A and B are shown apart, each in its own frame.
Chain A
Amino acid sequence: MRFLLLNHVQNAYQSLRSNRLRSYLTMLGVTIGVASITTILALSAGASKVVSDQVDALGGNIAVIRPGASTTDPLSGLTQPKTQRDFAASTLTETDLTAVSRIAHVTQAAPLMILGGSVRADSTAPDNTPIVASTPELATISNLKVESGQFLDTRVSPDTVVIGTQLSIDVFGTEQSIGKTLTVRGKSFTVIGVLKRMNDPINYNQVDFDSALIMSLESGKLLNQGIAQIQQINIRSDSITNLDQIIIDINKQLIANHAGEHDFSVLSGEQISRPTNQLFYAIAGVTAAVAAISLLVGGIGIMNIMLVSVAERTREIGIRKALGATNSDIASQFIIESLAIGIGGGIGGYIIGYLLAFGISTFLTFDPVINWQIAVVALGVSTITGTFFGLYPAFRAARKDPIDSLREYN
């Protein structure tokens, strides 16, 4: 059998080469399926890597509290996109913030209150400009650097804001906007700092700070009828080892605050970096379905071609059996052929998938990730497709009656 394997491979190579166009067309089905899988995986790994890199860069001792119990059901994320965050009142309150910041080993806690509204100066900022109300701790927790001017601190007037570089350009036409005045929801603020450009719109705060406006929590409350609408609380612990204990303490404390209701979730490490963008999930889901369908169709194509190939070579099967081939010899000859189609398509799909992913990433802010897991998945999927859909034709070939086969015309 050991010698036969090599022989079957040569055989498959020969027979695939003799029907070159047919083989390539059959491979194409698998190629498309594997290409889309590779693209999805590479891009989604790229997206979550952006966030996890940020968390790692900050020392990995960050935890995030978000309103609403975390759901583990990915389907609900697809069917009810954005309900909790955008329309429901947040369950996190200022009391929670103070309670959390008092927990042992918590060095810093920064609330994130995201408001909507217009930002105007010389010109109007885009509609979706995030207005973030927070405390000075945000700068250190989220690693925000100031390009010019200063960040918010406890001593500055509540009528001052820090803005992102892009926002500065959008409303003032320049990055040098210290001391200038802009209007948020009809109220005037003075710019005291411009942030350094960060270029990562995807982060665990879900805010693109390059085009954001940051004001103090008090000012934010004033714009919101005096109520703090905290969408997220970022927490930094004094070391990674204490993070687990902190999370337990936070859970206890907040459940007590919320009268026993577990209407929030505390995330850390990997959980934060899981892409939270629902639309991204939806796109990935749809593409995955397309990939699965094209793999299925590709597999059926393999089966179809293999059945044709078996029928064409009935006589050859008869001859081989007469010369001493066992049923399993015949079966493995055809399985290896369909496997070759599958793997060939898989390798092609892997390469095309990455070309596609890098092409798409030129429009995105992150790069696709190349890692062995994706290669294994691409190769594994194509191997399984090739084998699975080759089984039946191979079985049929093996079961052929040698006498009938020999009688067949060539």
Chain B
Amino acid sequence: MAKIKTPPVIELHNLKKRFGIGDAEHFALDGMDLTIKKGEFIAIMGPSGCGKTTLLNILGLLDHSTDGEYKLDGQEVSTLGPRRQARIRSQQIGFIFQSFNLISRLSVIENVALPLTYKGVSHTKRLELASDMLRTFHLGEREYYMPYQLSGGQTQRVAIARALVNEPSIILADEPTGNLDSRSSHIIMEELSDLHKRGNTIIMVTHNPRLTSYASRVITMLDGRVDTDTMVLPQLTTTPAKRPLGTTTKKKAKRKKPAKAKKVTS
């Protein structure tokens, strides 16, 4: 597959993250090794407290590892200054949160335009880009709503629009559907898998095993380490490159579920 040849975007070697000191010392990440290639859609599963969110925070440069290597695009992250890291967050990484994290006193379009601010885009241009982005998520007519006027699914779509407006190469999603009903979850997941097909790298933390069907690779974590790492056959995501989200997901779901079931039982 093309993906296998592409260079790794993210490389982790023996990554450790310690919380607390002395008796309270606890490693949320305990020697994590992981290589993520461009264009992968990774679902990270695992019990509570296994370090999924910590991993995501470190990948997103919001947190720093205690020990080990983290190379982003071949560059060791710990050597970068805070300003440079903020630049990377602004230009290469898009965050999607479980609790959406829209700023409540800003309108939908202003929320979506917010990341562009820190990229130095002018006001008019920002609103233009944000408006375009919202339209691709079918929220064009909601631009001047306030976040509290939207349903959960719409709010998360706004959040995804915001994560994408800077055209980041990596999207980090921390339980993006955790606060949504299954119908909205489905819509959100299809949006994500659509992004994946457009070539974005997506790393998603989830508790819901059914959602892993959208991913190209499923990683389960346990006690701060990778427990299992399963590649989902990737042909499904590449063959119907038109715009057939519905069909793809169904096929994917069929093939994936047994594979996953095996993993869990083993």
Query: Using a CB–CB distance below 8 Å, which chain A residues touch chain B?
Result: 1-4, 6-7, 14-15, 18, 315-316, 318-329, 402-403, 406, 410
Contacts and interface: CB of A to CB of B under 8 A. Distances in A.
B166 A324 contact: yes
B117 A7 contact: yes
B117 A315 contact: no
A323 B121 contact: no
Nearest to A328: B83
B118 to A, nearest CB: 4
Contact of A322 (B62, B102, B122): B62
Contacts of A323: 89-90, 95, 114-115, 118, 162
A15 B82 contact: no
Nearest to B53: A403
B103 interface: yes
Contacts of A327: 82-83, 86
Contacts of B90: 323-325
A2 B119 CA distance: 11
Contacts of A410: 104
Instruction: Point out which of A1, A319, A321, A328 has the most chain B C-beta atoms below 10 A from its C-beta.
Output: A319
A403 B57 contact: yes
Interface in B39-94: 57, 60, 62-63, 82-83, 86-87, 89-91
B246 interface: no
B105 interface: yes
Contact of A3 (B95, B115, B117): B117
**Residue from A2, A315, A318, A325 whose CB has the most chain B CB atoms within 10 Å:** A325
B62 A403 contact: yes
Contacts, number: 73
Given A321-B62, A324-B89, 17 more contacts: A3-B120, A4-B118, A6-B123, A7-B117, A14-B106, A18-B105, A318-B101, A321-B86, A322-B60, A322-B101, A323-B89, A323-B114, A323-B115, A323-B118, A324-B87, A406-B62, A406-B97
Contacts of A329: 86, 118
Contacts of B106: 14
Nearest to A17: B105
Given A15-B105, A319-B101, A403 B63 contact: yes
Contacts of B105: 14-15, 18
A3 B60 CA distance: 25
Nearest to B88: A324
A319 B166 CA distance: 15
A217 B57 CA distance: 94
A268 B257 CA distance: 100
Nearest to A327: B82
Nearest to A2: B120
Contacts of A2: 120
B211 to A, nearest CB: 22
A3 B123 contact: yes
Interface string B139-169: 0000000000000000000000010001000
Given A3-B123, A402-B62, A403-B63, A325 B103 contact: no
Contacts of B166: 324
A324 B85 CA distance: 8
A3 B114 contact: no
Contacts of B104: 410
A15 B106 CA distance: 10
Given A316-B103, A402-B62, A410-B104, A325 B86 contact: yes
A318 B99 CA distance: 13
A329 B119 CA distance: 11
A1 to B, nearest CB: 7
11 contacts: A1-B120, A3-B123, A4-B120, A319-B114, A320-B114, A321-B86, A323-B90, A323-B115, A324-B91, A326-B83, A402-B62
Considering residues B86, B95, B115, which has the most beta carbons from chain A within 10 angstroms of its beta carbon? B86
A322 B89 contact: yes
Nearest to B113: A7
A307 B123 CA distance: 28
Interface in B198-244: none
A4 B117 contact: yes
B96 to A, nearest CB: 10
Contacts of B102: 319
Given A323-B114, A323-B162, A324-B166, A3 B86 contact: no
Given A14-B105, A403-B62, A326 B86 contact: yes
A14 B120 CA distance: 20
B59 to A, nearest CB: 12
A327 B85 CA distance: 11
B62 A324 contact: no
A144 B93 CA distance: 84
A319 B162 CA distance: 11
Contacts of A6: 123
A326 B82 contact: yes
Contacts of A316: 103
Contacts of B95: 322-323
Nearest to B122: A3
Contacts of A320: 114, 118
A9 to B, nearest CB: 11
Contacts of B118: 4, 320, 323-326, 329
B86 A7 contact: no
Contacts of A1: 120
B103 A319 contact: yes
B48 to A, nearest CB: 15
Contacts of A18: 105
B240 to A, nearest CB: 33
Nearest to B86: A326
A3 B162 contact: no
A324 B119 contact: yes
B152 to A, nearest CB: 15
Contacts of A321: 62, 86, 89
